[in-house]
Amino acid sequence: MKICVLVKEVPDAAVQKRIDTGSMRLDRSGENNLNPFDTHAIEAAMQLKEGGDLQVDEVVAVTMGPGSAQRALQKAVALGADRSVHLSDDALLGSDVCATGLALAKVLESEAPDVVLLGQQSDDGECYTIGAVVADHLKMPSLTQVVKMDVEDGKLRCERQAEYGYDTVALTLPAVISVGDAINEPRYPSLKAIMGAKKKPLDTKSTGDVGIEAGQVGEAGSQTTVIALNPPPEKQAGEIIEDEDTAETVEKIVAWLDERKLI
């Protein structure tokens, strides 16, 4: 059995993210890192593999992105993936959710996974949707924001919060699952795993290699267009207190609350 984990390279959490107003795309020139939400998906894959209820032969990290995205794959491998696949092609530049979902589905199709796992969102795009897009292309059942996952009679028994409380859903494999960050506590990679990551197989594929036709992806395949970028409505900045002397801080808070008749 094969598990594919979709991962993404995103600007590092410490980088102030900005849009390049010429291209209307995210400026990715700064320090990049593996999307933190993806580490939960890799951990979930490792737990399925180690749990033994499914006979998992390999965990494959899959990404789409520029050359630098290989580092995100290496991190994924350091966290336990056996090998990785990198879909990289200039034709993919500027893909929106519709085009990205199609491209990822095509590269996944070439791997024929039994389970596809991904994080609930990317730290940059915050679209929450790629899992469900990919699932429909792959014709697989899917569920997003899963916070508990067990194997039962060869199915994945998943729990997640929806509008009215917790739902429990059993999915027949193959299936696509996006996991919430409460599902697990990702392990830290060992030094040995980090050192060994570069030696694990990494396949780089072009759009043509996985049967993506010109016009299906990139700007040409995108169905949305960013017309303008505007600042959000002005909100008066709140008062900030740095706590140096806690007694004094508390006095200030109480005075602030009292002034507004909140006590």
The footprint of another protein on residues 219-248 (CB under 8 A) is: 222-232, 235, 238-243, 246-247
- Taking the CB of residue 178, how many other CB atoms lie within 10 A of it? 27
The site string for another protein over 17-36 (x = CB under 8 A, - otherwise) reads: xxx----x-x----------
Instruction: Give the relative orientation of helices 70-78 and 36-51 as an angle to the nearest 10 degrees.
Output: 40
Q: Among residues 164, 192, 199, 234, which is the contact residue for another protein, using CB under 8 A?
A: 164
Considering only the stretches 15-23, 51-59, 61-69, 84-92, report the one whose residues sit in contact with another protein under the rule CB under 8 A: 15-23
Give the whole-angstrom CA distance, residue 131 versus residue 121.
9
Q: Name which of 41 and 175 has its Cβ closer to another protein.
A: 175
Q: Binding residue for another protein (CB under 8 A) from 82, 111, 181, 209?
A: 181
Residue 246 backbone dihedrals phi, psi, to 5 degrees: -60, -40
User: In whole angstroms, how close is the CB of 167 to another protein at the nearest point?
Assistant: 5
Segment interacting with another protein, rule: CB under 8 A, options 68-76, 83-91, 171-179, 204-212: 171-179
Q: How far is the CB of 197 from another protein (least distance, A)?
A: 29
Residue 250 near another protein by CB under 8 A = yes
User: Which residues, numbered 115-154, are part of the site for another protein (CB under 8 A)?
Assistant: 124, 126-137, 139-145, 147
What DSSP line would sit under 101-116, residue for residue?
Answer: HHHHHHHHHTT--SEE
CB count, 10 Å around CB of 25? 13
User: How many Cα atoms are found within 13 Å in the side-chain-facing hemisphere of 44?
Assistant: 33
Which C-beta is closer to another protein: that of 21 or that of 190?
A: 21
Cβ-proximal residues to 2 (8 Å cutoff; 6+ apart), any chain: 56, 57, 58, 59, 60, 111, 112, 113, 114, 115
Q: Which residue, 67 or 231, has its beta carbon nearer to another protein?
A: 231
CB contact at 8 A, 113 and 3 = yes
Binding map of another protein across residues 79-118, x = CB under 8 A, - = no contact: -----------------xxx--xx--x-------------
